[in-house]
Structure 1
Amino acid sequence: MGKGESTKAAVLDEATELASLVGLGGLTLGTLAAATKLSKSGLYAHFASKESLQVEVLQHAREKFVDVVMRPTLATPRGEPRLREFFDRWLRWQSTAFGGGCVFVDAASEFDDQEGAVRDELVRAERDKLESVTMIVRTAVGEGHFRDDVDPEQFAYELEGIVLAHHHARRLMRDGTAESRARRAFERLLESCRPRAGEVRQA
């Protein structure tokens, strides 16, 4: 990595952390310049506009999510163990990835009704994540950990609901039981998908 690339990576680290605290909409070249002690003209060399900065912050956060959550998850055994690893790492991501809340959750609330490149990037990241979850659920079905009639898309939908509820309870409500409640909800979701006692899978 060249000096220019390493400088930009460091700036994006700072920008992503800042976005978690002030919101993606509050992230501007001016606020980033103040936080990094760099000149706005210097930042213009890396980001052509506020929107391009916001998009690159989302892409940077997405790369970090892949490194911290997805790659280690896919290195674990297939099926339910992999799903558990993903859930554990996703919860940890929400709690520890940034000083503020999850950049993606916060930005989704800000940009869900705003058409443009930022919303498009958020949608891409969300679709990729949901596709990853459905793939993991399909492996759980294939391994016999889940019933054949389990709907992977529905599972992904319900899992997203658990994680969003955890984010809301932990960040807004400051509920000390947020994680334990999320884990209980996750266990119930898993249990609802397992083969029933005495049930024989179709060959």
Structure 2
Amino acid sequence: MVDTAQTSDQRLIKGALARASIARHAVDVASVEGLTGLSIGRLATDLGLSKSGVATLFGTKENLQLAAVQAAREVFIEHVVRPSLKEPGGLPRLRALIDRWFDFVSAPVFPGGCFRVATVSEFDSRPGPVRDAIAADQRDWRDLLIREIGRAQDQGAAQGKDAAALAFEIEALLSAVNTALQMGESEAAPIARGIIDGLLG
């Protein structure tokens, strides 16, 4: 009985690891080709897996897309958000978030740059669970910026500006930088940094 339970646990762990690995590869593919370009067959071929095995783990293309959105979110949190939370709240943390975002796309973790920027434009007019997941992730990022901008204002920075409007401006600049970098315009990053410094001054 114990052996059966252990075998079952091992299979669950193996399945979870396989699912995570496939979802992570799906993020790389989608960052370049879009979430609509994902397919169970494509990922199976890329990773040398059976199509039926991948299908068993995800079931549908939509589930695969949702798993990719979640995987991209987790990578972003790991590289940008979590390290920044070690900084004091307010301006230091806000600057850390922005600096780490620049690092995230300047030496891109994903081959297509920022996954969120790519997928927001792809799904902005496609209602459904995938758009809902992308929108929720975007809201969480913006809410984090708004919160830290508010704290920075309490500390005397960025006075006389609406926190939500300022977060929107920063997010728009970051999105523009991602696109510019993907187009080979390396000068975009320092230009945007200067603009953001002015906004936070």
- TM-score scaled to structure 1, two decimals? 0.88
Deviation at 1:39, TM superposition (A): 1.1
**One-letter identity of the residue aligned with 1:190:** L
Q: What is the CA–CA distance in structure 2 between the aligned matches of 1:49 and 1:3, rounded to whole Å? A: 20
1:24 aligned to which of 35, 47, 65: 35
Aligned residue number for residue 117 of structure 2: 105
Query: Over aligned residue pairs, what C-alpha RMSD do you find?
Result: 1.4
Shift in Å at residue 9 of structure 1?
A: 1.3
Whole-angstrom distance in 2 between the partners of 1:2 and 1:93: 30
Report the number of matched residues. Answer: 189
Q: Structure 2: where are the runs of 5+ without partners?
A: 1-11
Which residue in 1 is equivalent to 2:69? Answer: 58
Confirm whether residue 136 of structure 1 aligns to residue 153 of structure 2: no
Are the aligned partners of 1:78 and 1:143 in contact in 2 as well (CA < 8 Å)?
no
Question: Does 2:15 align with 1:12?
Answer: no
Q: Does structure 1 residue 187 correspond to structure 2 residue 194?
A: no
- Percent identity of the aligned residues? 37
Which letter does structure 1 place at the counterpart of 2:129? A
Alpha carbons 1:24, 1:103 under 8 Å: kept:
no
1:82 Cα deviation from its structure 2 partner: 1.0
Structure 2 residue aligned with 1:152: 163
Match of 1:177 in 2: 187
Q: Note if 1:76 corresponds to 2:87.
A: yes
Q: State the TM-score, normalizing by the size of structure 2.
A: 0.89
Bigger share in helix: 2
Q: Deviations over 1:114-161 (max 9, x none)?
A: 1111111111001111110001111112223343x4311011100011
For residue 97 of structure 1, report the CA deviation from its aligned partner: 1.6
